[in-house]
Structure formats: structure tokens, C-alpha cells
Chain A
Amino acid sequence: MLRAKNQERKSASLLIKGGHFIDPAAKINAPMDVLLRDGRVAEIALPNKVRGGADEKFDARGLIVSPGFIDLHVHLREPGQSYKETIATGTAAAAAGGFTSVCTMPNTAPVVDSAEWVAWLRHPERGAVVNVFPIAAATRSSRGTALTDFAALQKAGAVAVTDDGKPILDDEIMRAALRLGAELNLPVVQHAEDTRLTEGCSMHEGRTSFRLGLRGMSAAAEANIVDRDVHLAQQLRESRLHVAHISTSDALKAVRRGKRGKARVTCEVTPHHFTLLDEDVGEYNTNFKMNPPLRSASDREAILVALADGTVDAIATDHAPHATHEKEVEFERAAFGITGLETALALAITKLHREHKIPLMRIVELFTAGPARVFDFPGRGSLARGNVADVTIFDPKKRWTFEAGKSRSLSHNTPFDGWQFVGRVVATIVGGRVVYLVD
């Protein structure tokens, strides 16, 4: 076993021995040894059959070895809101959650709508410990009126564009964004919410919102936008539409229709939406307030079906850190969002695998090959020979208790404080270097 001091040292070669290897893109689910050398995958071989030598060895007996996890949706709060999170603290939390790559949302202060800000996010001075792939704003200042310079943003390193936090409501602007995205093969990510229907709303519309006297967001406010976007994507054949944090049964139906119609439509689901329900808000617990809100039991059922049947492409956390003073306020005034990087895998194994019997192969796919298909991450999402040496090693049987107070995130706004989980990340390797090793 590697010692913690080795975390800081880049080893030229590392042999991961004795583990069970799951690489959904390569359709491998078997005991394999993995040799990493100079930041790349040098060899994948049957146990004890690796030919090359290694400077260091990692004993992975009893553990799953998989391609590094990719999170398509995180808020690291820089530039401008470093009291909530920084790229350094957010990526440390990502590493602890097994993520080797994260895609950052542009709704910062200022909004990431220029090539300069995209470059700033990727600068080594930010102190990222995992790969940071910026998603840039689709419209200037995310006001929804004038498109940004997609080509310049893409050249600077943006993997997609979005106005996340707000939807692009105007039909013509959305059409123009998809059309320009199609020319550049750049995905457009939509936060699907018809905000004309959700003003003053702080949770899902249903029995619980009525009981609590809170205005509710209807499921239709999400589904209507997804419906429209899928229609547009079907008309614009080469366009790439990605539906962020999909949360309702009707919106999933629209995505299915798009996929059947061969439109390039993808979607992601968050761990909290496949785990929790609107009624879990309890007596105004603001750590259960996020957007989209926790939904009804039938919506969650539809999400579980879609995760199992392949409709959903990726699990994404929507990691949204907020300071205590933004959450310890009246429910209607509290900020939307929860942290999620350190609990995502544990929730997937505890809920999806153990409770709902979704195979580990599929779960790993939702963290690796799935997200790797949604945006373009050359050399990532699979550990084929020559690919980037981003590896996640986890123990699918380990029981542990999550303590928010020990989180690596700057913020502790999680509904899962004190939850007992099965399944824990053991080590996270980025470019051949161990960036996280469990205590």
C-alpha cells in the first residue's frame, strides 16, 4: 500500500496490482493489473502478467480499479465567491470523491463568458488537484440575450456552453446556440426551468409544498423546456443538447423521444435526485433545498428506471457549496444547492447498486464512459493503453459514515451529514499521480 507521503510525489511508474478492473468503454469487468507510466496507461494485463517493471506498487486486492470519474456539473465558485469554495478546495473534495475531472459551471462573479476567464480557471495558480474543464456561458453575462463567442471559448478550453442557474428561455436564442454549437461540435447544456412558472418557488409543487405553505415548482416547468429543446435538437441535426440535472418523469420521456429520433441529446442525474424526495425537506431543512428541487416518488422511480435502462448518460453532482449564513435563513430566502462531490459514489453504491440492484459495471459507466461521451475528453473515460492515467480505486463493500464537518469542501451544506454508506473511494490518481488516498 502506498503511504500518504507519496501523494505529493509523482512516480514515473505505478503498478496497480490485484484489483478488479472495470472499464465499461472497453467492456472489461475482470481481475486485471494496471501499469501507469509517465502519466499514461502503459499496460493492462491479467493478474501477475504485466511485463514492465514499476517504481511503485499499489495493492488493490479487494478493490475496484476504474477509469477516473468525470463530474459534468460542479460549482467551484471562482472567480468571485471564494468564501463558498475555491478551485483548490473544490478539487480536493472532488479527489476525495474519486473524481479526476470536473466541469465547472460559469455562474460565478463575474460570469465566465470570455476566453480570458476560461484560461484563468485553467491556470496552475488556481491550485487544482484534479483536471478542471470549464463550461463557459452561452450568452453574455448569462442574460439570455446575446450569444458569447463560442469559438474563442472553445479554443481557450471550454468543453461546453451553458447559462446554468438560469435557462435559455427565448426560442430563437436557444436555436441559435444549438446551431452555433453544431458548427463547432460544442454541446449546449440547459438548466431546464421555465422561470416564468417558478417565481417565488422554493421546492417541488405537491403535497409537501402545500403542507409547508411554500410555493412549488411544477414538474411541467422543467418538462416544457426539455420538450422544446429536444424539438430544436431534432431540427438541428448536428447540434448537441445536454440536459443538466434532469429530475422529472416527463422530462425523461422527452429525452427518450429525442434519443429514439437520433437527436444528439444527453442528460445527467444527481445523486440527491435518485436518493431523496420532496417530503425529506422535513420542517424547512435548507440543506434539502436545491434547484431543480427534490421531486415526488413517481419522479424518483422514473429516474431509477432511466439510470438502469441507459436513458441517463451520467451521474453529475451539481456540487453547489454555500456559506452557513446563506443557508441558516428562512427557507424561502435560503440559497439553492448542496455539496455533493464526496458522497456521490457512496450514494450510487448504497442506493443504486445495493438497494436497486444496478450492476457496478453500469454505475462505473455513469461516472466514466457515460460523461466522457457527453462532452469531449480526449484520452479520458477509459483506461485503454496510451490514455491519460486518471484512475479511481474504490472499495465497494466498505462501510463508513460521512461527516460533513470533515469535508474538504469549504462549505458543509449537505443533507447527508451522518449518513451511513457502503462503498468508499480509496485512492484517486490524476495523470499517474496519487492525489487522494483514504486515511
Chain B
Amino acid sequence: MMHGLPSHAMNKPARGSLLGIEHLEDQEILGLLKLARRMNPLKARPLLRNKRIVLLFYEASTRTRSSFEIAATSLGAITTLVQSSGSSIEKGESLLDTGYTLRAVGADAIVIRHPAAGAPHLMAKHLDIPVINAGDGMHEHPSQALLDAFTILKHKKSFKGLQVAIIGDIFHSRVTRSNCHLLAKFGVKITLCGPPEFVPEVSATLAPGLRVSRHIEEALRGADVIMLLRLQKERLAGQKIRLQDYIARYQMTAARLKLARRDAIVMHPGPIIRGLELTAEVADGPQSAIIDEVHNGVPTRMAILARALGKAR
């Protein structure tokens, strides 16, 4: 084996890895959010000078990739983008062999997005450098949950007593899984809303304080935060659900938004599809925090990278 370790070596992830929210301690989350507040991409200190960060992307991405890249370079790191097309991955190289190769060329950390749940965990078990999960299949998207928490705390004083409604295709959503784990740790009450195809009853077992509702009106009543999800049209094939029915029952409209608290914010991990899961009026309205989220992605990911490489001071 090229890495010189026994192939069955199953180690703990390297310090600084971020594989998911589920197993993070509350203090680690609060520490990351605090650090993120101190990060300013326009006045960044070169904490990661000469560090090499590989962005290993097996799936398409705009927001996550560009914000990790800007976060890394703002801190003085060198980034390399490796994508499945145009690399040895196309020739059939295994995930672990790709990891060993990137380690051998001198990567100090790997940020990975992969269509298979658990892919970052596999890599972290076998590599001695931090692995950061930038989205794995339907499992978790921890940096998104952290930037969402960061965004919520910019608008709300604390998590205490908050009610959150998450509406849409929960089943396929790694963002929702990470958000539920994070918010539930701080006692937030969460309502998952959508038809059974997207919100199976089992969804409520993910974390404490979760409930399932089939009616958007019920989910919105009293909500402080509304999180919308992209309706993944490609997954509708074969499902019983019809687009027009979904829009009629679950689309976020200005009229429905009135059911939530007056100071409620509307969030969406993007990409948004206007006219489908939300109207343009809501997307561009005063309660929308959607662009804010994208903006907050950079300092949050700066904090994640600084922590990963031991520069979280």
C-alpha cells in the first residue's frame, strides 16, 4: 500500500476534521460560531499562510465551493480544486487512493463533497490530515448548518425559545439533517413540513424536539425562522406527487408568510427556484435572509478552516 499504513487501519479522524454536526459538542459549535464572528474576509489575517487545502468535489457546487475557496485564500492558504471529471477519478481511482495521493502531494486538509453518504468519514478514518465534509449524499452538510446558525444569530438574540419550520423535500436533504442536529442541541422546536414522500414519519426521530406536519399553515404559525428547500425536480420522476399540487399546498407565498411571526426570517440553502418552492416576492422580500446566508458562508468557512489547521485563536 502506498500510504505505508496497514490497509485495515481504522483511526479516529484527525483533529480539526468536521464530518457532521450530529456528534459535535455544543461548546464546539458555539466556539466555531464565535470564531466566525471574528472572521472578516476583507481584513483577514494570514493564519493559514502556505497551507495547502484541496477542494475535492465529486458533485457540482457553486456556493459551497467558491466560499470555501475564498475563505481559504483570505486566510493565506493555497487551494487546489480536484473534480471527478478531468482527474484520475474518471479512470476509476478509488476514493481512498485519491485521498492517499492528495496527502502525498502535500495537502494539509481536504474539503470533500461527495454523492455517497459517509464518504468523508471513510477518508477521515484513513488519513492523518483534517477532512471537512462539504456535503455527503443525503447525510450531512455541516458547514451549511453552521452558516445557517450564524445567520439566525445575526437576526435573533439567541436560540432560546425559537420555533423553526423546515418545508420541502426533507428526505433527500443533507442540509436539513445537519440543521436539525444543530438546532435541536440548543432546544429549538422544529416542525418538518411536506407530503409523506418527502417527509416520512421517521424524520421526527432524527433529533429531540422534532415534529412532522402535513400542513404548511400549521407549520408556519408562530415560526421565527422558515427554512425552505429546493424541490428536486429530478427526484419527482416516479413519485406520486405532482408539481402543481405541491405548489398549491406547500409553496411559500407572501400571504402564507403572514402566518409566521412578524419578525420571522426566510432562509434557503440555494439554489432557489422562483415560482416553485417560493415566490419571487418572498425571495426578494424584506424578511428574506437568503443572500445573507451566502454572504455568511465565507466567515463561517474561514472559522472551520482555521479550526481544522489548529489556528483557531
User: How far, in Å, is A323 (CB) from chain B's closest CB?
Assistant: 10
* With A211-B177, A330-B116, A331-B116: A284-B121 Cβ-Cβ less than 8 Å: yes
Which residues from chain A contact B137 at a C-beta distance below 8 Å?
213-214, 332
B117 & A212 in contact (Cβ 8 Å cutoff):
yes
Given A207-B202, A210-B205, A211-B177, A328 and B117 touching (CB < 8 A)?
Answer: no
What residues of chain A lie closer than 8 Å to B94, measured between beta carbons? 325, 328-329
A31 part of interface (Cβ distance < 8 Å) = no
| Interface size, B (range) | 20 to 34
Give every chain A residue within 8 A of B22 (Cβ-Cβ): 211
Number of A-B contacts (CB under 8 A): 66
Collect the chain A residues with CB atoms within 8 Å of residue B206's CB.
Answer: 207, 210-211
Within 8 Å of chain A (Cβ to Cβ): is B118?
yes
Q: Does A283 contact B (CB under 8 A)?
A: yes
Closest chain-B Cβ to A322's Cβ sits at a distance in Å of 13
Contact B117 A213 (CB under 8 A): yes
Chain A: minimal CB distance from B55 (Å): 19
Q: Is the CB of B95 within 8 A of A213?
A: no
Q: Cβ of A82 < 8 Å from any Cβ of B? A: no
Please provide the chain A residues from 356 to 399 with a CB less than 8 Å away from any CB of chain B in the complex.
none
Q: Is B119 an interface residue (CB 8 A)?
A: yes
When chains A and B are docked, how far (Å) is the Cα of A324 from the Cα of B206? Answer: 32
Instruction: Check B116 against A210 for contact (C-beta < 8 Å).
Output: no
Residues of B within 8 A of A213 (CB): 117, 136-140, 174, 177
For B121, list chain A residues within 8 Å (CB). 283-284
Decide: B7 and A324 in contact? CB cutoff 8 A.
yes
Cα–Cα distance between A283 and B122 once the two chains are bound (Å): 9
B-side contacts of A324, CB under 8 Å: 7-8
Contact partner of A330 among B8, B119, B202, CB < 8 A? B119
Question: With the chains together, A143 CA to B224 CA distance in Å?
Answer: 56
Contact of A210 among B8, B95, B114, B203 (CB under 8 A): B203
**Is the C-beta of A333 less than 8 angstroms from some C-beta in chain B?**
yes
- Does the CB pair B8–A412 fall under 8 Å? yes
Inter-chain contact B116/A212, CB cutoff 8 Å: no
A412 to B8, CA, bound (A): 10
Within 8 A of A (CB), among B96-133: 96, 114, 116-119, 121-122, 126
Docked Cα-Cα span, A331 to B96, in Å, equals 13
The answer to whether B118 touches A212, judged by C-beta atoms less than 8 angstroms apart, is yes
Q: Restricting to A387-429, which residues have a CB under 8 Å from any CB of B?
A: 412
In the bound complex, residues from chain A placing their C-beta under 8 Å from that of B177 are 211, 213
User: In the complex, are the beta carbons of A328 and B205 less than 8 A apart?
Assistant: no
CB distance from A297 to the nearest CB of B (A): 13
B209 at the interface (CB under 8 A from A): no
Q: Is B41 an interface residue (CB 8 A)?
A: no
Asked whether, in the complex, the Cβ of A328 is within 8 Å of the Cβ of B118, the reply is no
Interface string of B175-207 (1 = CB under 8 A from A): 001000000000000000000000010110110
In the complex, which residue of chain A has the Cβ closest to the Cβ of B171? A210
Residue of B94, B114, B116, B137 most packed against chain A (CB within 10 A):
B116
B119 contacts which chain A residues (CB < 8 A)? 330
Most B CB contacts (10 A, CB to CB) among A207, A283, A284, A330 go to A330
Residues of B within 8 A of A331 (CB): 116-118, 122
User: B37-80 vs A: 1/0 string, CB under 8 Å?
Assistant: 00000000000000000000000000000000000000000000
- Distance, CA A284 to CA B139, complexed state (A): 11
Task: Mark out the residues of chain A between 181 and 222 whose CB falls within 8 Å of any chain B CB in the assembled complex.
Answer: 206-207, 210-214
Task: Provide a sorted-by-A list of 26 A–B residue pairs whose CB atoms are within 8 angstroms.
Answer: A206-B202, A207-B202, A210-B200, A210-B205, A211-B22, A211-B177, A211-B206, A212-B118, A212-B139, A213-B138, A214-B117, A214-B118, A214-B138, A283-B121, A284-B117, A284-B121, A324-B8, A325-B94, A328-B8, A329-B122, A330-B122, A331-B117, A331-B118, A331-B122, A332-B118, A333-B116
Q: Which residues of A contact B (CB under 8 A)?
A: 206-207, 210-214, 283-284, 324-325, 328-333, 412
Additional pairs, 11, CB under 8 Å, beyond known A283-B121, A328-B96: A207-B206, A210-B202, A210-B206, A212-B117, A324-B7, A328-B7, A328-B122, A329-B96, A330-B95, A331-B122, A332-B117
Sorted nearest first, the 4 A-B pairs with minimum C-beta distance are A284-B118, A213-B139, A213-B138, A330-B116
